């Protein structure tokens, strides 16, 4: 083979390599990748698997409309397996290997806080769809679930004002969400005149199953005749054992009402609810909400996932967050994180209960607060509903938080001290 032939072959090879690389790059950019970061195994799978399915439905529906910016959406699903450090590893993998444009995921606050340093380091974007303890506002997170002033505080008011509860058992799973929420609630109850001796606080591990002593302790709290109520921040499949023990002990909602913040239609679908009738849950959405948008959503969900599948609050939060993200991408003309984050503030989208959600400068939504009573069929009878309440990133009931404000639009800060007029750096290495 002479030199000229070799040169020509080298040129062809180089051209072929260049073409292949160009085609690979083109192929890589042909879809908009969406990371789905939910536990599909382990103790939290009972709650999170449905949110993975919700995302797949929403992506399928958006692709049927033509996608976004002329591109189809591609779901990249991972399973962090209810393992909190694994959430961080999977988030890093989604951002650096899969090159996703956005992530929807996490349920527990410990999983979110595990992911937080990663997405802040790599400038990723996370939509978090579950009620949480507040006390946070990250530039890289949009919180579409309830803050304490949109769930925990109104539920406590319902106990105090409507049910006449005088003593409180605050029962939670042992991690950051229950502990911080109960810290806020304890301060709030004391501000309402409830003495510390009338507040019983207990934490149990994820997956806890033996509830006999704890339920006995709650019953004993009312030995003096004062009405006792349980505020539950128990998460995951531990709820199954808790409600079974209540039933085994013969405790009805008339005796000791329970209001739960992590039990919705999905969790109840696996329980015999006949003995739970009258117990409560506080959310921003219930499947039983009477609104045309909700009826359509339920119809679409059952067609996608099966007639027996139910809807719940974190699904609505996922639905709102996803559609707001779509609108922000279309408005910005790009999936660039900073551009989308700026475009989404002030964005509105109809919720499923008949009102409108708005994304606030603190990266939280305005949402109505609903209290529902468990029915024998596993659904909820809505006994209380408010107008939309703006989500508060920092509670007014802890002195160190009362002076803080989150505003990513004008102040470009998630932890602005209104006394010192300075932006404090939020610690994310929990």
- Please check whether residue 306 is in contact with residue 274, taking contact to mean a CB–CB distance below 8 angstroms: no
Beta-carbon count within 10 A of 186 CB: 17
- Whether 6 is covered by a domain: the verdict is no
Would you say residue 86 lies in a domain?
no
Coil vs helix vs strand at 110? helix
Q: Which of 331, 328, 426, 335 is nearest to 123 (CA)?
A: 335
Asked whether residue 337 is assigned to any structural domain, the reply reads: no
The candidate with the shortest Cα–Cα distance to 258, out of 368, 372, 367, 335, is 372
Domain coverage including residue 250 = 150-283
Question: Is residue 289 in a domain?
Answer: no
Sign of CA dihedral 267, 285, 106, 201: negative
Whether 141 is in a domain gets the answer no
- For residue 65, give the 3-state DSSP assignment: coil
Q: Are strands 348-350 and 280-283 parallel, antiparallel or unpaired?
A: unpaired
395, burial (CB in 10 Å: exposed 0-12, middle 13-18, buried 19+): buried
What proportions of the chain, in percent to the nearest 5, are helix, strand and coil? 40, 20, 40
User: How many domains does one find in the chain?
Assistant: 1
SS3 191: helix
Q: What tens-digit pLDDT sequence spans the chain (430 residues)?
A: 443 344 344 443 443 333 333 333 334 479 999 999 999 999 899 889 999 999 999 999 999 999 999 999 999 999 999 999 999 999 999 999 999 999 999 999 999 999 999 999 999 999 999 999 999 999 999 999 999 999 999 999 999 999 999 999 999 999 999 999 999 999 999 999 999 999 999 999 999 999 999 999 999 999 999 999 999 999 888 888 898 899 899 999 999 999 999 888 988 887 778 878 999 999 999 999 999 999 999 999 999 999 999 999 999 999 999 999 999 999 999 999 999 999 999 999 999 999 999 999 999 999 999 999 999 999 999 999 999 999 999 999 999 999 999 999 999 999 999 999 999 987 654 4
**3-state SS class at 237:** coil
pLDDT digits (tens, 9 = 90+) for 45-63: 988 999 999 999 999 999 9
CB neighbours (10 Å) of residue 216? 12
Tell me, what's the pLDDT at 27?
A: 41
Domain assignment present for 16? no
| CATH, residue 190 | 3.40.50.2300
Per residue in 197-255, pLDDT (tens digit) is 999 999 999 999 999 999 999 999 999 999 999 999 998 888 888 988 998 999 999 99
Distance of CA 230 to the CA centre of its chain: 22
Classify residue 204: in a domain, yes or no: yes
Decide if 336 is inside a domain. Answer: no
Cα separation, 339 vs 331, whole angstroms: 9
| pTM of this structure | 0.88
Residue 250 burial class via C-beta count within 10 angstroms: exposed 0-12, middle 13-18, buried 19 and up: exposed
């Amino acid at each position: 083979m002479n030199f000229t032939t070799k040169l020509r072959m080298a040129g062809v090879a180089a051209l072929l390599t260049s073409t292949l690389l160009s085609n690979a790059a083109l192929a890589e950019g042909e879809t908009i990748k969406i990371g789905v970061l939910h536990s599909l195994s382990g103790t939290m799978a009972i709650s999170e698997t449905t949110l993975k399915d919700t995302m797949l439905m929403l992506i399928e529906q958006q692709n049927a409309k033509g996608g976004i910016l002329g591109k189809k959406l591609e779901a990249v699903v991972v399973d962090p397996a209810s393992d909190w450090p694994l959430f961080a590893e999977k988030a890093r993998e989604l951002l650096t290997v899969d090159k996703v444009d956005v992530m929807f995921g996490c349920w527990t606050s410990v999983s979110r806080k595990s992911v937080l340093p990663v997405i802040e380091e790599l400038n990723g974007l996370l939509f978090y769809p579950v009620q949480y303890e507040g006390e946070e506002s990250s530039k890289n997170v949009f919180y579409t679930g309830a803050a304490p002033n949109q769930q925990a505080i109104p539920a406590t008011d319902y106990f105090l004002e409507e049910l006449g509860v005088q003593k409180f058992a605050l029962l939670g799973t042992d991690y950051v969400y229950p502990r911080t929420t109960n810290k806020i609630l304890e301060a709030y109850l004391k501000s309402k005149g409830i003495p510390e001796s009338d507040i019983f606080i207990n934490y149990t591990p994820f997956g806890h199953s033996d509830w006999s002593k704890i339920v006995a302790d709650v019953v004993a709290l009312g030995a003096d005749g004062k009405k006792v109520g349980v505020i539950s921040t128990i998460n995951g499949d531990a709820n199954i054992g808790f409600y079974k023990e209540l039933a085994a002990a013969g405790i009805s909602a008339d005796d000791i009402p329970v209001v739960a913040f992590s039990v919705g239609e999905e969790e109840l679908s696996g329980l015999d609810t006949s003995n739970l009738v009258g117990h409560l849950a506080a959310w921003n959405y219930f499947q039983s909400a009477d609104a045309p948008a909700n009826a359509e959503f339920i119809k679409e969900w059952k067609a996608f996932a099966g007639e027996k599948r139910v809807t719940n609050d974190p699904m609505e939060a996922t639905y709102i967050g996803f559609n707001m993200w779509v609108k922000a991408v279309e408005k910005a003309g790009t999936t660039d994180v900073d551009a989308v984050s700026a475009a989404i503030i002030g964005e509105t989208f109809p919720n499923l209960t008949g009102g409108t959600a708005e994304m606030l400068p603190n990266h939280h939504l305005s949402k109505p607060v609903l209290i529902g009573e468990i029915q024998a069929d596993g659904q909820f009878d809505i006994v209380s509903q408010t107008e939309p309440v703006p989500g508060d990133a920092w509670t007014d009931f802890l002195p160190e938080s009362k002076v803080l404000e989150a505003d990513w639009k004008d102040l470009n800060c998630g932890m602005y001290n209104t006394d010192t007029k300075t932006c404090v750096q939020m610690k994310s290495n929990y």
